[in-house]
Structure 1
Amino acid sequence: MRGSWVSILLIASLGLIGSCSAAAVEYDSSAVIINGERKIILSGSIHYPRSIISSAAEFSLHCLTMWSDLIEAKEGGLDTIETYISGMHTSLAVYNFTGNLDFVKFSKVQEAGSMHSPNSCGYTIFQISNSGQTMRFSRFELNEMQTFTTKIVNMAKEAKLFASQGGPIILAQIENEYGNVMGPYGEAGKSYVKWCAQMAVAKIQGCLDHVPAERCSINRDHSFLLCCPDRLTHAMDSTAMHLHQTIRKIRKIWTENWTGWFKKWGQKDPHRTAEDLAFSVARFFQHNGVLQNYYMYHGGTNFGRTSGGPFITTSYDYDAPLDEYGNLNQPKWGHLKKLHAALKLGEKILTNSTVKTANYSDGWVELTTFTSNINGERTVFPEQHKMDDVNVDLQQDGNYSVPAWSVSILQDCNQEIYNTAKVNVQTSLIVKKLQENDTPQKLSWEWAPEPTKAALLGRGGFKATQLLEQKAATNDQSDYLWYMTRVVNNGTSMKNVTLRVKYSGQFLHAFINLWDNHQHCAVVHARLICQTQQKPALLKPGRNIISLLSATVGLQNYGEFFDEGTEGIAGAAYTTDLSSNEWSYKVGMIGEGRRFYNPHSGHAKWVSGNLPVGSAMTWYKTTFQAPSGTEPVVVDLQGMGKGHAWVPCPRSFLNNGPNTLILFEEIGGNPSNVSFQFTATETICGNAYEGTTLELSCNGGRRTISDIQFASFGDPQGSTCGSFQRGSVEASSSLSAVEKACLGKESCSINVSKTTFGVGDSFGVDTNRLAVQAVCK
């Protein structure tokens, strides 16, 4: 089953190590020290199995949907990439590290892009093979965890991936995500974590400059073990941080600063604002942070059956700075890039300074001053959590206004170089559309019915006189399990009989005498959908066949005792209780087993013409040409209901000639409206305050700025694309100056100043700003 994970987290450098020679990695209370150079580390998570490696351009630094997204991470100001090593089991102690599961190759790509890595590793729980044993506590599972950890450490050593060997890995972490679920397990939970720590120290010892056991620590909630080359660390993995003066002298590593959250079917996209994310990062370094990692920086896609859940989508976009397709998620990416630059500007001060804290405005404002121990220069963090702007009297350094709920970074206490609430970067509106020069493709479809005759006649692969739990019965070989039984009616026909099912899965199809053309119903989120065919539902005299198809939509994979949760049918009744009937079972769909999704399998009998619409349990196949251009390609499944799609994505997998799309539709859909499109930045807009630089870009140079729809320097009104209006004052050259700087270019930079727009010192308002909206084509 898809289960919990014990992870080895690896953090790999993006250029902190300058050569292939061995590097010394240490740290103290205020810095990570690499070859004697004091650093703060800005890191981002990229899970390589969720990002695609290109068969043709694997090491290209411009294929954004592939592993070489790393270049955008580096350009965004990151020092390191964090990843989790996923062990995809083919059988016990046999792992798959091929293709996009090859963590060694992924580490080499990072190294080629001059990036380092903190890393994590995980192994799947073989719960089903060992039913009756408690997850995490069985000797079988402990042995498997130790085997996997040993395997990963040895593979990393053999490939010379650790910094002490000249490789990119500067930190390794065993993660359990166990802290907030450990309590219900009592003493057994504590004993398990202690065993994990001892095992991990023994296995990782020697990877990072011969890390001694006493230099590894379990964090406060026992959720993971962190090993670094010097003494103890304090680590956090939640969005909300409440840091106290009592722990200021402890070095802090934040491994999971969530940029967003999981997306679920039927729910709105989770969103975390750029301002809030930047606030958390600035505040972390204000409070003596050493290493901060974004979870995620590029989320990617859950391929195959790896989504988890229930009801987590295949998209793992996570509202990350690089979106699922590898596009820059603006303004988040740009706002964080400027924050990273501001932090790096003060890095030498932050990592070697005397720190003082003062409170102003009745405690609403906390002012943290870092004074260099070398030259006395200062970096200052005013932070306030009030919903109104606050003016602070800094005495000899003058007055400073701290915007509501924000953190500023001041150079020498009087020059603002960054504020988390002031977004001086562009916002990109990304659309899905057809290329302007492409002719809309009229897809020609073939179809094939899913072979259901055996299931509808009650013929399965094995039998039991009880209802089986679905995960145990399928052994995670499929999302589908058929439950089939017979009911004998010795009386007359009975109409309007109710079938009651106790169900804990996500999607249930009910077929009642359907081979005799009676009724098919599907339960979707507890809503009953029926397709009444030639006759109403009834219980006929003699033998009646009930066939129930249970489908999971991602399995729960987190929480206390989650492995003990049941899936599938736990009870059924028609006129009598059917739970102890003889039930036949079949795992999976026949088309799934016969690989109908493979256009070369030859097992499907595809039919042309008379395309069935609204037909359940139907396979569809078509060929298509890839949209022209270089932008990421998407398939729009408008008109389809529920099922699966097999398509060669991303763009790097598409052929120049025909490509094949195969769909399996469960409840009935219409493929006529399915289309292939590309994602593109079509409109960009930005606000920037006087004294800053506004950078505009049409997503990595794929398009050019073709029109300036709005430009105003002064006090323009509005803050989002489409809302801009001229204010009370405006420089007359606003539009012409922006057109001169940007038109016809892939990207441009505008110095937001009175000089740029040809106005005098007395022009405008106290705080002038520039608002721009442009079109990319």
Structure 2
Amino acid sequence: MSSLFSNPYTVTYTSRAICINGLPKLLLAGCIHYPRSTPAMWPSLLRKAKEGGINTIQTYVFWNLHEPIRGTYDFTTDSANLPYFIQLCKDLDLYVSLRIGPYVCAEWNFGGFPVWLKHLPDIKLRTNNEIYLQEMKRFVNKVVDISRPYFPDKAGPIILLQIENEYGNISYAHGKEGVEYAEELGRFVNDMNLSALWFMCRQYNHVPSVIHTVNDYYCHHFFDNLRKEYPCAPMMWTEDWPGWPQEFGEAKPTRPAQDCAYAVAYWIAKGGSYHAYYMYHGGTTFARWGGGPRHTTSYDYDTMLDEYGLEHYPKYYHTKRLHDILLKFEDVLMKNPIPTAKKLDEKLEAYVYGDINSTKSLIFLCNSDEKNAKQIEFFNVLWDIPRWSISIIQGGDLSLEIPPTLLMNTAIIEKSNDSPDRSVFKPLPSSIIDFESFAWLLEPTPHFSDECDKITTPRPPPQIITTQDTTDYMWYVTQVVINHNEIENNHKSPKFNLKLHNVGDVGVVYVDGKVQSVHRGGDQVDVPLHLDFRNKINDEISGINNNESIITPDNSRKHIFTLQILNCLMGLPHIMAFMERYEQGLLGDVYLNDKNITHIGWQVNVGLVGEKQGYFDPSTHYNLPWKSMNIESSLPTTLDQDIFHQRILSDTQEKYPNLTVQIPVQVGLIWYKFHFTLPNEYHDITRTQDTLHPIALDLTSMTKGNVWVNGRHLGRYWLEIATRPTDPRARDDQDYAGWYNPHTKCRVGYELPSQRYYHIPLDWVKRGKDHTNCVVLFEEWGGDPRGIRVVQRVKCKKCEPNEVCFHRN
């Protein structure tokens, strides 16, 4: 039972702080996105946040999660259960800052907008457009209605609400209509007359009825201008980024704990009263919710609680130490005037809260020099202040011979024999995998045909409007005709090049079902084609009629090839102006050598056969022709590759002695399935998740695709190697000092896969002794599922953070 929210209360603000029942409050917030974890994880995440010194939980509300179909809402199913998440916050005496948006960015698919929204006639998103305003207000009103039991006048935890999100980043693109839109938002939220307060972040023109807030890696340097612009408002920092999102093909961004603490301490020293980490727990972007495009499924963000919900050493403990000090001195900070900076030296200043001659004072000595430590005499004591750091000091009382006390320095991380363990991955025994359960199904490449269910168009259509974003995959299929005289002089190796213009995100090109190229999208993609003319000519000589070569009335021979292009989305963009204009797919012209083949007629297949027939759903497996062969079986004639003899029989007995079946490997467009059983420690279903190690799949042996466990979509996987940046400023060091930039420093994991491990929430697995768990993968390019392993996320004193742990518990 909550004690903080036992009675209704008021929320107001002054120039100093948000006030609860008239008393200024120091609010230390952490962002936790409820759909990036599972309901079974929420209690532990929230409890650990509170133990880490967080007193406010900040989260977005995701429109496309809650209204996937226009007019059909879901606020109750699984991770969409927003009321339950808010109730848990209330039970733990945590305030809530609810960022409704409904545009949220968040590296979330389409910035949180449902895709149906962009297809409404005449709509313009995020501007003064009547259609958009009507839809936006309808959804915001729905969220407000759902949240009413949790507002202050109902003794609930929601004290803050956000409308829009970082609109200043794009408002310039909309000109006058952008200004009018922002002002309309202010009128809209004011008319609701709610007991919680509204704010807008990164809003660069004045909007009535909202508090203006800032977002960045550091915000103390904004303070003076912010105070001049909004003299009556509290100084609120709503996004402090302790890391940065990661894309496939990038090394992981990290931000040192010392720098995080420095930024927070400086903000509070300057007079900030609200601070929020974006993120505190990043979590996992399951299923197809990832935006970008190409953002990793992991949304770890180098946060205080890692993707799996474990305390991140040393960041969690270092920031907890800072939070505990600030909250202990909350009255000193909130009830004393904001001090004027006292300049002690170049790049060294002091902020003193309270009477310096009293133990009820708090002093911040701020050294912003990233290269040099400082030594200064202050309050009759000589202080050594490391570079790029802040010393937080409790005042002394000389009359009582009580000297001032150093409470912490942001650059110094406490270490002891009891230092917390680092979180690493530890492989579970391979014996938990049922090697006899391996099976596979090929995903067919579509033919060009006259079947009535085909979508036929003069030119390749845009992908999103065709698929309605119900799938990552869409096939573009056409037939190209090549005159025999183009090849008669050198029919063994004629050169043909396919040019695709304005195409993305990732594609695979086939000719007659044979892969030609895998490519990233771009303004122009060149694909050398390897066309098998020799077989076609030999077929004609043998009298085989395969409809692939024809004789025209003028006796000239022509050869017909089927061109099949599979376009694979990696998430819709989460930030851009004019989002309603965004499309994807094969948008530009298509050339075969110098011949424009854009308008020769195309057929489109939306999605995969395996998606439509539910290959990923274990309940359908009994009705599907999954293939499984014992180790002595011969190569099936349906596969035109010598994969078994080259890839399997040569190494199976040596590498995989438990494997009694053979499966195709290094083959694209293939579905795999297998089963595993968790070890004994997971069999007691009365044990809570807090007492069990989180688990994941190690997909190092795979390449790119999607993965499901027990029918639940873990997300996209891609074992793309992280390359080094081309930015000449980039360096490998992990130095905490100096302005942080994720593109120039503190990245880890170069020359390794951007993401190797894929989180399996424990409430998605079957933990009983006799229960097996079904893994299904769709591999796009070619991998080896025999190398997949189930791993634990464990804590170990002996391992470095990026190592694989093989130590005994």
Q: Scaled by the length of structure 2, what TM-score is found? A: 0.75
- The residue correspondences of 1:259-658 to structure 2 (distance < 5 A) are 259-371=242-354, 377-386=360-369, 387-394=371-378, 396-412=379-395, 414-425=404-415, 426=419, 428-435=421-428, 442=435, 444-454=437-447, 461-492=454-485, 494=487, 495-514=494-513, 519-524=515-520, 541-569=558-586, 570-575=588-593, 576-602=595-621, 604-609=624-629, 610-629=662-681, 630-648=692-710, 649-655=760-766, 656=768, 657-658=771-772
Give the conservation status (yes or no) of the 8 Å contact 1:77–1:340.
Answer: yes
Shift of 1:113: 2.2
Counterpart in 2 of 1:703? Answer: none
CA distance in 2, matches of 1:178, 1:546: 43
What CA distance in whole angstroms lies between the structure 2 residues aligned with 1:224 and 1:174? 14
Deviation at 1:465, TM superposition (A): 1.1
The corresponding residue for 2:649 is: none
C-alpha distance in 2, partners of 1:492/1:75? 77
Q: Distance in 2 between matches of 1:246 and 1:638?
A: 50
Contact in 2 for aligned 1:511/1:548 (Cα 8 Å): yes
Aligned residues: 651
> Aligned pair in 2 of structure 1 residues 151, 304: CA closer, same or farther (>3 Å)?
same
Residues 450-483 of structure 1, C-alpha deviations (whole Å, 9 max, x = no match): 1334469998621211222222222111111111
Distance, in Å, in 1 between the alignment partners of 2:217 and 2:42 is 28
Q: Which residue of 1 aligns with 2:754?
A: none
1:139 and 2:159 correspond: no
Please say if residues 432 and 676 of structure 2, whose CA atoms lie closer than 8 Å, have aligned partners that are also in contact.
Answer: no
Any idea what SS the aligned residue of 1:118 has? strand
Deviation by residue 1:575-629 (Cα, 9 ceiling, x = unmatched) = 5211122111111111111111101124531000241111111100111112443
Equivalent position of 2:195 in the other structure: 207
Instruction: Give the AA of the match of 1:338.
Output: R
Contact 2:497 2:527 in 1 (8 A): no
Aligned equivalents of 2:174 and 2:45: distance in 1?
A: 41
Residue matched to 2:185: 196
SS in structure 2 at match of 1:146: helix
Q: Is the 8 A contact 1:519 1:536 kept in 2?
A: no
Contact 1:621 1:660 in 2 (8 A): yes
Contact 1:632 1:650 survives alignment (8 Å): yes
Once the two structures are superposed, the pairs formed by residues 95-174 of structure 1 within 5 Å of their partners are 95-97=73-75, 98-123=77-102, 124-125=113-114, 126-130=116-120, 133-137=123-127, 138-157=129-148, 160-174=149-163
2:545 aligned partner: none
Q: Residues 456 and 651 (structure 1 numbering): CA distance in 2 closer, same or farther, change over 3 Å?
A: farther
Deviates more, 1:124-133 or 1:189-198: 124-133
State the alpha-carbon separation in 2 of the partners of residues 301 and 543 from structure 1: 46
Q: Which moved more, 1:502-511 or 1:527-536?
A: 527-536
> CA separation of 1:195/1:473 partners in 2, compared to 1, >3 Å: closer, same or farther?
same
CA contact (8 A) 1:454 1:460 kept: no
Does the CA contact (< 8 Å) of 2:118 and 2:125 recur in 1?
Answer: no
Q: 1:93 to 1:397 in 2, by over 3 A?
A: farther
- Please tell me the root mean square deviation across aligned C-alpha atoms, in Å: 3.1
Q: Which runs of 5+ in 2 are unaligned?
A: 103-112, 397-403, 488-493, 537-547, 550-557, 630-661, 682-691, 711-759
Offset at residue 373 of structure 1 (A): 12
Q: Which moved more, 1:296-305 or 1:28-37?
A: 28-37
The answer to whether the Cα contact below 8 Å between 2:477 and 2:565 also exists between their aligned partners in 1 is: yes
Q: Which residue of 2 aligns with 1:31?
A: 17
Choose from 18, 42, 45 the match for 2:28.
Answer: 42
Aligned equivalent of 2:650: none
Matched, 1:181 2:181: no
Deviations 1:162-199 (A, max 9, x none): 12211111111213222112112211211221222222
Rounded to whole Å, the distance in 1 between the matches of 2:596 and 2:331 is: 74
Which structure is higher in RCO with an 8 Å CA cutoff and minimum separation 6?
Answer: 2
- Against the structure 1 CA distance between its residues 537 and 192, is the aligned structure 2 distance closer, same or farther, given a 3 Å change threshold? farther
Q: Which amino acid letter does the alignment assign opposite residue 145 of structure 1?
A: M
Q: Distance in 2 between matches of 1:721 and 1:674?
A: 21
Q: Specify the code of the residue in structure 1 equivalent to 2:796.
A: E
Taking the aligned partners of 1:456 and 1:523, their CA distance within structure 2 comes to 26
Q: Which amino acid aligns with 1:112?
A: D
The question of whether the paired residues in 1 share the 8 Å contact of 2:590 and 2:597 is answered with yes
TM-score, with length taken from structure 1: 0.78
For residue 562 of structure 1, report the CA deviation from its aligned partner.
Answer: 4.3
Residue identity in the other structure for 1:504: V
Paired residue for 1:694? Answer: none
Contact 1:369–1:378 under 8 Å retained in 2: yes
Q: Percent identity?
A: 28
**1:106 counterpart SS class:** helix
More deviation in 112-121 or 634-643? 112-121
Q: Match for 1:500: what amino acid?
A: K
In 2, the alpha carbon distance for the partners of 1:578 and 1:530 equals: 16
In structure 2, how many angstroms separate the alpha carbons of the residues matched to 1:223 and 1:556? 25
Give the whole-Å Cα distance in 2 for the aligned partners of 1:469 and 1:287.
51
Q: Is the 8 A contact 1:682 1:776 kept in 2?
A: no
Is the Cα contact below 8 Å between 1:270 and 1:319 reproduced in 2?
yes
Tell me the amino acid that sits aligned with residue 52 of structure 1: T
Secondary structure of residue in 2 paired with 1:95:
coil
Query: 1:178, 1:439 → 2: CA distance?
Result: 50
CA distance in 2, matches of 1:301, 1:50: 5
Q: What amino acid sits opposite 1:638 in the alignment? A: T
Match of 1:33, as an amino acid?
C
C-alpha spacing 1:439/1:606, structure 2 compared with 1 (3 Å)? closer
8 Å CA contact 1:438–1:627 kept in 2: the answer is no
CA contact (8 A) 2:312 2:422 kept: no
Q: Which residue of 2 aligns with 1:83?
A: 59
The residue type paired with residue 124 of structure 2 is T
> Could you tell me how far apart the structure 2 residues matched to 1:134 and 1:294 are?
32
Paired residue type of 1:637: L
- Name 2:728's counterpart in structure 1: none
Could you say which residue in structure 2 is the equivalent of 1:689?
Answer: none
Counterpart Cα distance in 2 of 1:129 and 1:435: 47
Larger deviation, residues 348-357 vs 141-150: 348-357
Aligned to 1:235: 213
CA contact (8 A) 1:297 1:320 kept: yes
**What's 1:678 paired with?**
792
Task: Flag the 1:325–1:721 CA change in 2: closer, same or farther, 3 A.
Answer: closer
> How many Å apart are 1:360 and its aligned residue?
3.9
Where does residue 777 of structure 2 map in the other structure? 663
> Structure 1's 264 and 652: CA in aligned 2 closer, same or farther, altered over 3 A?
same
> 1:479 corresponds to which letter in structure 2?
D
Q: Which amino acid aligns with 1:523?
A: H
Structure 2 CA distance for partners of 1:531 and 1:364, relative to 1, 3 Å: same
Change beyond 3 A, Cα 1:299–1:443 = farther
Which segments of 5 or more consecutive residues in structure 1 lack a partner in the other structure? Answer: 1-13, 55-64, 686-719, 723-774
> Which position in structure 2 is the counterpart of 1:757?
none
CA contact (8 A) 1:120 1:173 kept: yes
Instruction: Give the 3 Å change call, closer, same or farther, for CA 594–223 of structure 1 in structure 2.
Output: farther
Name whichever structure is richer in strand by fraction: 1
